[in-house]
Amino acid sequence: MKTHGMSNTRFYKIWKGLKTRCYNRNYKHYADYGGRGIKVCDRWHKFENFKKDMYVTYKDTLSIDRIDNNRGYCTENCKWATRQEQNRNKRMHKLTKEKVKQIRIEYKNGSYGIGAFLARKYGVCNAVISEIVNYKRNYADI
């Protein structure tokens, strides 16, 4: 029985992925999604509704992004975004005061390209490393 004919598409896999992140306790990153209360709106539990709401602006080069990372997946809180946009919208839960201090020490003692290395090492974008080492943002409250 064929319903929507999109089961093998990237778009469908994105929809399945957001449900997995929110509801599958065995998923490796469940704690960052369903484990902290992130849900999929009732309307999007049906693929056809997700398609009606999001397919018109979908592009294969983009991924789904929650505008407010503390809210769930719904039309009002989701958009398609580039990898760069996604990186700017990350929660900064990985950076403790100790890690910020360590980043500053490693950056000071490092060489050319150390910013990109530290960004990968600590799971943040290059702009965050720049803000930390230039004291442009107070990361002491993280």
pLDDT tens digits for range 41-84: 999 999 999 999 999 999 999 999 998 888 999 999 999 999 87
Residue 40 dihedral angles phi and psi, to the nearest 5°: -100, 130
pLDDT of residue 92: 54
pLDDT tens digits for range 1-49: 567 889 999 999 999 999 999 999 999 888 889 998 999 999 999 999 9
For 126, half-sphere exposure in the C-beta direction (CA atoms, 13 angstrom radius) is 7
d(CA 111, CA 121): 15
The answer on pLDDT for 102 being more than 80 is yes
Mapped onto helix, strand or coil, the DSSP state of residue 108 is helix
